[in-house]
Chains A and B, each alone.
Chain A
């Protein structure tokens, strides 16, 4: 046989297991954008895809495998059976139902809880030490759900939260100043979505606080209308959905950014959704985004932001709304 003539075995055929495996659950637009971003950043040595739609799953896996020549990820696998996800370091959950027209948030959440009831235990079964990164919306609630269903310690269950909101804000800030977003610093925290909180006191370029230059920043009578910038962040997702039907690329890239910190143990600070009970006056078991340190152990520390009373009030209000929904869930 050709192979015997071509190659001489040196090492007995024992498959060497992967050391930095990533699983993406859900091969819709967000899942695949996340997968491609992770692959193009050479972050993992094995990528697993899971979904219930078997043909689509197989097609997506094949399409990625056909690009193997251009990638440095030697193993790309896919199956609807979760055994294919075994020994993952990070599992990105993008699966879930989308909101139907006129559907209440509570109903959507309960539908997604039922989906997660199947997904989460299967993930845990095959990767009991993994870090769960929840992307599906409403992300703060579903991160709580994933935490409850998995039984994982809270530092291994992270929600993508306001990581993308902050990226959008920094992009808009960059456009305003003609600077690269990485040189524009601003943090959006709290609930991902309509009631996120822009922390104006922290917005800076090269350490220069913009609020010190413009004390009215973010207020109603701010001549520069920074509040509109935040509104554009909130509306950004809806606009892209209206124009192209969904969003994918930005969230995919932001997921890869988080995965990079987790797999490379970078100890970078990212605004992601974590258990905030006991912080900023929040009493209930809710997940909200605050700046967190991400490393190979997961979410190892939380950064204490000095917030204004009205900012803390907003966080507390979000917490109450989230708890209002969460306590009605059948887990």
Chain B
């Protein structure tokens, strides 16, 4: 007795290769990983999504919950497993996994613990997707992007840290709000180290090409009557604020990762502030990763925009580089 399937459908070329062309893997199904996954799915960016984590029940539950929404999506395959074989042939791998800072823990200790986690993750990613591009989101992102680069053996243009992409998005939103315009119409770049010592490049801040520093030469300084510096401070503080209020942040970082994903998968060559290897730029002598405006395409970082920075801004970048190298040089087992 032939089944309904056999009576309904006559196969013509069912054995034709169905290798995914735009597969994305998200490593880590915590709040950040799932926000990245959902943003990527709802933007129709990939034809296959793979999720990996060590917590098997949670992983399966998240996969099922996404699959139950497949009617509303255009991503035909959503898979998940703790075995990395499920990630094979990914074009892009988003790494959100990692341990969080314990109370009183030094940054070096946190990083060393995350190195150990990444040692289990990164080689597995490369094994199954040797030609992928990796976007590192886990914190401290600049150091962990370096760690990923070292552990993966990938060329530097294929390892990107989400860096100050979110800081810049927050900056543009907060600045735009003060002016009553949409964030996308306010152009401003926050570069360097993601976090407390990020650098807002005031000389570049503009609306429709009109340079704000020309309108207000004190902008960003303590002497500034309009206190625009406070807006950058709000950017730095915003992560802490959201964490204090709801326990973590996820939606904004998820949306920003989807934005990077779009540029990479669609070979768009858009410029994003992301963490890249900056040795030999701005007088930096060490192998550190900091955020600069990078042209992102299907190869990863195609090129870096040579930002015109003031002496003060260059000094800040060099200081960040020294701090990062101070941590990186003591890492074991890289």
Who on chain A is nearest to B74 by CB?
A180
* Min C-beta distance of A164 to chain B, whole Å: 7
CA distance A74 to B180 in the complex (A): 10
Interface residues on A, range: 35 or more
CA distance A123 to B200 in the complex (A): 42
Given the contacts A59-B246, A174-B70, A253-B72, A243 and B183 also touching, CB distance less than 8 Å: no
Tell me what chain A mostly uses at the interface: helix, strand, loop, or mixed. helix
- Considering the complex, which residues of chain B in the window 30-54 have a beta carbon less than 8 Å from any beta carbon of chain A? 34-35, 38-39, 42-43
CA distance A309 to B5 in the complex (A): 28
CA distance A47 to B294 in the complex (A): 33
The reply to whether A247 and B65 contact each other, CB–CB distance below 8 Å, is yes
* Min C-beta distance of B319 to chain A, whole Å: 26
The reply to whether the CB of A56 lies closer than 8 angstroms to some CB of chain B is yes
The reply to whether the CB of A104 lies closer than 8 angstroms to some CB of chain B is no
CA distance A170 to B245 in the complex (A): 39
The stretch of B89-97, B123-131, B252-260, B295-303 in contact with A is: B252-260
The winner among B69, B169, B252 for most chain A CB atoms within 10 A is B69
- Contact for A242 among B61, B73, B245, CB less than 8 A: B61
The reply to whether B252 and A64 contact each other, CB–CB distance below 8 Å, is yes
A3: chain B residues within 8 A (beta carbon): 178-180
The reply to whether the CB of A236 lies closer than 8 angstroms to some CB of chain B is yes
The reply to whether B8 and A213 contact each other, CB–CB distance below 8 Å, is yes
The reply to whether A59 and B245 contact each other, CB–CB distance below 8 Å, is yes
The reply to whether B71 and A40 contact each other, CB–CB distance below 8 Å, is no
CA distance A320 to B259 in the complex (A): 51
Who on chain B is nearest to A167 by CB?
B71
The reply to whether B71 and A55 contact each other, CB–CB distance below 8 Å, is no
A67: chain B residues within 8 A (beta carbon): 169, 251-252, 254-256
CA distance A32 to B249 in the complex (A): 13
The winner among B67, B68, B210, B249 for most chain A CB atoms within 10 A is B68
The reply to whether B67 and A171 contact each other, CB–CB distance below 8 Å, is yes
A253: chain B residues within 8 A (beta carbon): 42, 69, 72-73
The reply to whether the CB of A323 lies closer than 8 angstroms to some CB of chain B is no
* Min C-beta distance of B245 to chain A, whole Å: 3
CA distance A315 to B251 in the complex (A): 40
Who on chain B is nearest to A184 by CB?
B71
- Contact for B242 among A63, A170, A256, CB less than 8 A: A63
A5: chain B residues within 8 A (beta carbon): 215-216
- Contact for B42 among A40, A64, A170, A241, CB less than 8 A: A40
The reply to whether the CB of A65 lies closer than 8 angstroms to some CB of chain B is yes
The reply to whether A69 and B66 contact each other, CB–CB distance below 8 Å, is no
The reply to whether A63 and B68 contact each other, CB–CB distance below 8 Å, is no
Who on chain A is nearest to B176 by CB?
A68
- Contact for B238 among A32, A37, A62, A167, CB less than 8 A: A62
Residues of chain B at interface, number, CB under 8 A: 67
- Considering the complex, which residues of chain A in the window 4-19 have a beta carbon less than 8 Å from any beta carbon of chain B? 5-7
The reply to whether A63 and B71 contact each other, CB–CB distance below 8 Å, is no
Given the contacts A70-B256, A167-B68, A244-B62, A177 and B245 also touching, CB distance less than 8 Å: no
The reply to whether A249 and B70 contact each other, CB–CB distance below 8 Å, is no
The reply to whether B169 and A177 contact each other, CB–CB distance below 8 Å, is no
The reply to whether the CB of A71 lies closer than 8 angstroms to some CB of chain B is yes
* Min C-beta distance of A226 to chain B, whole Å: 9
The reply to whether the CB of B222 lies closer than 8 angstroms to some CB of chain A is no
- Contact for B251 among A36, A69, A174, A180, CB less than 8 A: A36
A59: chain B residues within 8 A (beta carbon): 241-247
- Contact for A167 among B66, B72, B242, CB less than 8 A: B72
The reply to whether the CB of B190 lies closer than 8 angstroms to some CB of chain A is no
The reply to whether A254 and B251 contact each other, CB–CB distance below 8 Å, is no
The reply to whether B39 and A244 contact each other, CB–CB distance below 8 Å, is no
The interface of chain A, by Cβ under 8 A from chain B, is 1-3, 5-7, 32-33, 36-37, 40-41, 55-56, 58-60, 62-71, 74, 164, 167-168, 170-171, 174, 176-178, 180-182, 205, 208, 210, 213-214, 217, 223-224, 236, 239-245, 247-250, 252-254, 256-257
19 contacts across the A-B interface (CB closer than 8 A): A1-B226, A2-B215, A2-B226, A7-B179, A32-B251, A36-B42, A58-B245, A59-B243, A59-B244, A63-B246, A67-B251, A69-B172, A69-B256, A170-B71, A171-B70, A180-B70, A181-B70, A224-B3, A244-B57
Known: A6-B207, A37-B38, A240-B64. 9 other contacts (CB 8 A): A2-B212, A33-B38, A66-B238, A168-B68, A171-B70, A239-B61, A243-B61, A249-B38, A256-B72
